[in-house]
Amino acid sequence: MRIGELAKRTNTPHRLLRYYEEQGLILAERGPNGYRRYNENDVDRVIQIRGLLDAGLPTRIIKQILPCLNKPRNIFFKDATPEMLATLRFERDRMTERIRCLTKNRDAIGEYLSTVEKCRAPEPTS
């Protein structure tokens, strides 16, 4: 697929996809005409990258852990420096706290909606 389709399917601007390629997060083949070509796996890869970025991980860490997110998992220990492990622990804990907060907020919104929907007067029928 070309960059436009990947952008549409992942809701990611072209510019960001080119940036992910520059950072080595995704790889594009080049057709004879020079156009980038992506494969079906890149859809999931871009969605993973966006999720990790949204969670606050920097691209340098994402690049190191992306191979570990493939199935089957390919875990490389040679690159796991103490600093990287500490960063990953910190980011994991930060994500856990964010999940807790999001869950609490989701539940509060659910309670609000439930209460409002129970209390609302039925719409008059014509």
pLDDT number for residue 64:
81
Tokens 């409002």 belong to which residue?
116
pLDDT in tens, 37-92: 999 999 999 999 998 898 888 888 888 888 777 665 555 566 677 887 888 898 88
- Please give the CATH topology (third level) of the domain spanning 1-75: Multidrug-efflux Transporter Regulator; Chain: A; Domain 2 (1.10.1660)
The mean pLDDT value for 85-112 works out to 91
Share of the chain above pLDDT 90, in %: 45
Neighbours of 61 (CB within 10 A): 15
Confidence of residue 12 (pLDDT cuts 50, 70, 90): very high
Q: Contact 104/97 with Cβ under 8 angstroms?
A: no
The mean pLDDT value for 24-36 works out to 90
Say which residue, 6 or 61, is predicted with more confidence.
6
pTM (two decimals)? 0.66
pLDDT number for residue 58:
86
Domain ranges of the chain: 1-75, 81-126
* Helix and strand numbers, DSSP H then E, in the chain: 5, 2
